C-alpha cells in the first residue's frame, strides 16, 4: 500500500511539473505570435463589429425612410451625398496600389476605393522579400511601413460605412479584409517609445522585422474581420490563408489565423448572441438524397459558373468604362451613385407592373433592398422560400449591375456577399423549376458561387457546414466541383503568388523563365543575338546537370555568352513585359517548328 501511495504521489508530482513546464515547450516566437493573434483578434473584432452594427442600423433607417417617403426618387439624396463624402475620403491622403489585369495592363488603384480584398492582397505581399525590393534598395517589412496602416483603417471604415449606409450596392466582407490587414500591420508598425523604462521592453518583445511574422499578423487581422461578419471562424481562417495562397494553404499561419478568428467569434457571441452568423434559418430543411436533386445541383453548378464568367467580364468592362469616361474622381463617384439609384428606381416601379401583367407570380415586399445594400435580407428571404422565380431572375441582373456600378465607380464595398447573392438567385430559379425547397439548393449554391467567383474552395466548403449542417457537405462538394471545373479561371481576384514562369519586378517589368528549345541546342547567346533581337537580358541559366553529367539542378548566374546552350535548360530573362512577350513567342515558335518537323 505504501509503495502504491508513493507511486501515485510521484505520478501526481510529475503531472503538475509537466503542466508548469508546458509554456516552456513553446519557443519565444511561438508565444509572441499566440499573444499577438489574441490581441489582434480582439482589436479587429471591436473595429469590425462596430462597423457591422453601424452599417446595418443606418441602412435599415435609410430603407425605412425611403419606403415611407412621398417618392422613391428621394433615394438619390443619400446616394449622391454619400458618393461625394466617399470621394472626399478617397482624396484625403490617399495612396496608390498597382494592379495588373488579365490583359497585362497596369492600373493604379486608390487604396480606399472599391473592393478592399484586392488592395489587401497587394499590401500583404508588399512585405515579402522579393526581387523588386532588392532593385529598389528596400527590405522586407520596411516596404509595408511606407504605405498607410491605421490611417487606412480609419479611412476605409468611414468610406465603407458611408457607401453602404447611403444605399450603395455591395458587401462588407471584402472591405473589412483591408481593415483587418491594415489594423494588424499598424499594430506591428515601429513607433518611437518615450517611456523607455516600462514600454520599451514590451515593444522590443512585440515587434519583429521578420516579414513572415508580419504576414502572420496580417492573416490574423483578415481572419478576425471575416469571422466577425460570417460567424464562422474555421471558414474565416481558411479564407484568409486561401485567398493569399490559393493553391498551397500555409498550415502554420492558419493556426494563428484561427486563434484570431475564434477570439472574434466568441466576442460576437458574448456581446450579440442573437446575431452571431451572417445567415441563419429557423427551420432547417435537410437535403434530399435522390438523383433528381443531384441533377438539379449539377445544373445549378454549371449556371453559377456561367454567371461568374459573365460577372468577371462585366467587372472589367465597368472598371475600364468608369475610369475612361469619367477620369474626374468626383464625377465618377456621382455617376456610380446615379446608376445604382436608377436601377433601384426601375426595380421599385417595375416589379409591381410585371406582377400586374402576370409576368411574375408576385412582387417582393421590399424591392429597394433587392438592389441597395449588401443583399443579406433578400438572401434570408430566399432561404425562407419568400422569393419566386421571376423576382429572383430580375434581382440577379439588377443586383449585379448595381454592385458593379457602386464598386466600379470607386464606392467602398465588397463582392463576397454579392457573390453569394448571385448564387442564391440562381438556386431559387432552379428550385422552382425542379419543385424543390429553395433552401436545399441555396446552401450548396453559396459554396458554388464562392468557388466560381472568389476561388476559395476550402473556405467555401466549410461555410455551409459551420452555418447549417454537415448534411449539406455532399451536395455542396458536388456543386463546388462542377462550378470549379467550369469557371476556375474567372476568379475576381488575382493569384498574387509568383508563378514559376514569371515575377513582376516593377509595373511593366518582369523576370521570367523560358525553357531552351531544341533548335537552340548547341548555340550560344552570341550566336542567337538575343539582346539585339529582343532587347532583353539573360541573367542566369538553370542547368539540369552538373559538369559530370549527373542530374543536379543548379543556377548559373552571369552565364558565359559564348557557352553553348543545352536542351531543357531554363533561361532566366528580365525586360519589359512587351519585350518578354515577344521573346516568349519566339521560343514557342521554335518549339512549334521542332514539333512539326517530327
pLDDT digits (tens, 9 = 90+) for 284-315: 888 998 899 999 999 999 999 999 888 888 88
Residue spans of alpha helices (H) in 137-276:
140-145, 150-165, 173-188, 199-206, 211-230, 233-244, 251-271
- DSSP for 506-560 reads ETTEEEEEEEPPGGGTT--HHHHTHHHHH--EEEEEEEEE-TTS-EEEEEEES--
Residues 187, 142: Cα–Cα separation, whole Å: 14
Q: Which residue has the higher pLDDT, 281 or 498?
A: 281
Q: Which CATH number fits domain 291-490: 3.40.50.300, 3.30.565.10, 3.40.50.2300, 1.10.3080.10?
A: 1.10.3080.10
Question: Under a CB-based contact definition with an 8 Å cutoff, are residues 203 and 192 in contact?
Answer: no
Question: Under a CB-based contact definition with an 8 Å cutoff, are residues 423 and 171 in contact?
Answer: no
Is it the case that residue 23 has pLDDT exceeding 60?
no
pLDDT at 489: 56
Q: What is the tens place of the pLDDT at every residue in 158-167?
A: 999 999 999 9
Task: Identify the burial level of 67 via C-beta atoms within 10 angstroms of its C-beta, where 0-12 means exposed, 13-18 middle and 19 or more buried.
Answer: middle
Nearest alpha carbon to residue 188 among 134, 127, 138, 133: 127
Of the chain, the percentage scoring pLDDT greater than 70 comes to 78
Compute CA 358 distance to the chain's CA centroid, rounded to the nearest angstrom. Answer: 41
The CATH code of the domain at 25-194+204-275 is 1.10.3080.10
In the chain, residues under CATH classification 3.30.70.1450 are 502-597
**Which one of 114-118, 275-279, 297-301, 488-492 scores highest in mean pLDDT?**
297-301
Residues 534, 547: Cα–Cα separation, whole Å: 30
Instruction: Indicate the Cα dihedral angle 425, 427, 431, 436, nearest 10°.
Output: -130
Q: Compute CA distances 464 → 175, 176, 442, 478, whole Å.
A: 22, 21, 10, 13
Instruction: Indicate the Cα dihedral angle 79, 82, 87, 90, nearest 10°.
Output: -130
Q: What is the tens place of the pLDDT at every residue in 402-439?
A: 999 999 898 988 888 888 999 999 999 999 999 999 99
Q: What angle do CA 330, 335, 340 make, to 5 degrees?
A: 130
pLDDT at 15: 53
pTM of structure: 0.76
Mean pLDDT of the chain: 80
502 three-class SS? strand
Residues 173, 492: Cα–Cα separation, whole Å: 14
Question: Under a CB-based contact definition with an 8 Å cutoff, are residues 575 and 530 in contact?
Answer: no
Mean pLDDT value across residues 36-49: 93
Cell of 359: 409576368
Residues 323, 345: Cα–Cα separation, whole Å: 25
pLDDT at 300: 94
Question: Under a CB-based contact definition with an 8 Å cutoff, are residues 177 and 123 in contact?
Answer: no
First vs last Cα of the chain: how many Å apart? Answer: 88
Residues 333, 409: Cα–Cα separation, whole Å: 5
Of the chain, the percentage scoring pLDDT greater than 90 comes to 26
pLDDT at 132: 47
**pLDDT confidence of 498, banded at 50, 70, 90?**
very low
In sequence order, which residues have a C-beta less than 8 Å from that of residue 421 and are 6 or more positions away? Answer: 375, 378, 379, 399
Q: Which CATH number fits domain 502-597: 3.40.640.10, 3.50.40.10, 3.30.70.1450, 3.40.50.450?
A: 3.30.70.1450
Provide the b/e sequence for 448-462 (b: ≥16 CB within 10 Å). bbbbbbbbbbbbbbb
In the chain, residues under CATH classification 1.10.3080.10 are 25-194+204-275, 291-490
Mean pLDDT value across residues 243-259: 74
pLDDT at 2: 61
**CA-based radius of gyration for the chain:** 27
Q: Which residue has the higher pLDDT, 494 or 382?
A: 382
Amino acid at each position: 500500500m505504501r509503495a502504491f501511495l508513493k507511486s501515485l504521489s510521484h505520478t501526481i508530482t510529475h503531472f503538475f511539473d509537466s503542466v508548469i513546464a508546458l509554456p516552456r515547450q513553446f519557443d519565444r516566437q511561438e508565444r509572441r505570435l499566440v499573444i499577438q493573434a489574441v490581441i489582434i483578434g480582439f482589436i479587429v473584432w471591436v473595429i469590425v463589429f462596430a462597423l457591422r452594427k453601424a452599417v446595418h442600423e443606418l441602412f435599415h433607417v435609410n430603407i425605412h425612410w425611403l419606403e415611407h417617403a412621398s417618392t422613391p426618387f428621394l433615394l438619390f439624396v443619400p446616394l449622391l451625398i454619400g458618393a461625394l463624402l466617399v470621394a472626399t475620403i478617397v482624396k484625403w491622403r490617399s495612396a496608390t496600389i498597382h494592379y495588373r489585369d488579365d490583359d497585362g495592363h497596369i492600373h493604379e488603384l486608390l487604396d480606399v476605393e472599391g473592393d478592399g480584398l484586392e488592395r489587401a492582397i497587394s499590401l500583404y505581399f508588399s512585405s515579402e522579400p522579393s526581387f523588386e525590393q532588392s532593385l529598389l534598395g528596400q527590405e522586407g517589412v520596411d516596404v509595408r511601413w511606407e504605405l498607410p496602416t491605421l490611417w487606412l483603417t480609419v479611412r476605409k471604415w468611414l468610406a465603407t460605412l458611408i457607401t453602404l449606409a447611403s444605399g450603395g450596392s455591395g458587401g462588407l466582407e471584402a472591405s473589412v479584409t483591408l481593415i483587418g490587414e491594415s489594423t494588424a500591420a499598424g499594430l506591428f508598425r515601429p513607433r518611437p517609445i518615450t517611456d523607455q523604462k516600462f514600454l520599451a521592453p514590451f515593444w522590443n518583445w512585440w515587434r519583429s522585422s521578420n516579414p513572415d511574422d508580419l504576414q502572420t499578423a496580417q492573416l490574423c487581422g483578415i481572419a478576425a474581420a471575416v469571422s466577425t461578419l460570417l460567424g464562422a471562424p474555421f471558414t474565416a481562417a481558411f479564407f484568409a490563408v486561401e485567398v493569399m495562397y490559393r493553391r498551397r494553404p500555409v498550415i502554420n499561419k492558419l493556426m494563428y489565423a484561427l486563434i484570431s478568428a475564434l477570439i472574434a467569434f466568441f466576442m460576437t457571441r458574448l456581446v450579440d448572441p442573437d446575431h452571431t452568423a451572417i445567415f441563419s434559418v429557423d427551420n432547417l430543411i435537410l437535403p434530399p438524397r435522390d438523383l433528381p436533386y443531384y441533377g438539379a445541383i449539377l445544373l445549378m453548378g454549371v449556371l453559377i459558373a456561367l454567371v461568374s464568367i459573365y460577372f468577371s467580364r462585366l467587372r472589367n468592362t465597368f472598371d475600364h468604362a468608369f475610369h475612361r469616361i469619367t477620369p474626374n474622381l468626383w464625377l465618377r463617384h456621382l455617376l456610380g451613385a446615379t446608376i445604382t439609384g436608377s436601377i433601384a428606381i426601375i426595380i421599385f416601379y417595375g416589379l409591381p407592373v410585371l406582377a400586374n401583367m402576370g409576368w411574375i407570380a408576385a412582387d417582393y415586399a421590399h424591392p429597394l433592398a433587392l438592389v441597395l445594400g449588401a443583399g443579406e435580407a433578400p438572401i434570408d428571404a430566399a432561404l425562407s422560400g419568400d422569393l419566386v422565380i421571376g423576382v429572383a431572375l430580375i434581382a440577379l441582373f439588377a443586383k449585379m449591375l448595381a454592385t458593379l456600378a457602386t464598386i466600379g465607380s470607386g464606392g467602398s464595398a465588397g463582392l463576397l456577399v454579392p457573390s453569394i447573392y448571385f448564387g442564391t438567385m440562381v438556386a431559387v430559379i432552379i428550385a422552382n423549376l425542379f419543385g424543390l425547397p429553395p433552401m436545399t439548393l441555396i446552401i450548396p449554391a453559396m459554396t458554388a458561387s464562392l468557388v466560381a467567383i472568389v476561388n476559395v474552395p476550402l473556405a467555401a466548403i466549410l461555410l455551409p457546414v459551420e452555418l447549417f449542417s454537415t448534411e449539406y457537405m455532399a451536395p455542396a462538394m458536388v456543386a463546388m466541383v462542377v462550378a470549379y471545373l467550369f469557371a476556375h479561371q474567372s476568379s475576381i481576384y488575382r493569384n498574387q503568388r509568383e508563378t514559376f514562369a514569371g515575377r513582376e519586378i516593377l509595373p511593366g517589368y518582369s523576370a521570367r523563365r523560358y525553357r531552351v528549345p531544341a533548335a537552340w541546342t548547341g548555340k550560344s547567346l552570341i550566336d542567337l543575338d538575343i539582346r539585339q533581337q529582343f532587347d532583353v537580358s539573360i541573367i542566369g541559366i538553370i542547368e539540369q546537370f552538373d559538369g559530370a553529367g549527373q542530374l543536379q539542378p543548379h543556377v548559373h548566374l552571369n552565364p558565359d555568352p559564348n557557352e553553348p546552350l543545352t536542351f531543357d535548360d531554363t533561361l532566366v530573362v528580365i525586360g519589359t513585359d512587351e519585350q518578354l512577350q515577344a521573346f516568349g513567342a519566339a521560343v514557342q515558335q521554335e518549339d512549334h517548328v521542332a514539333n512539326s518537323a517530327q
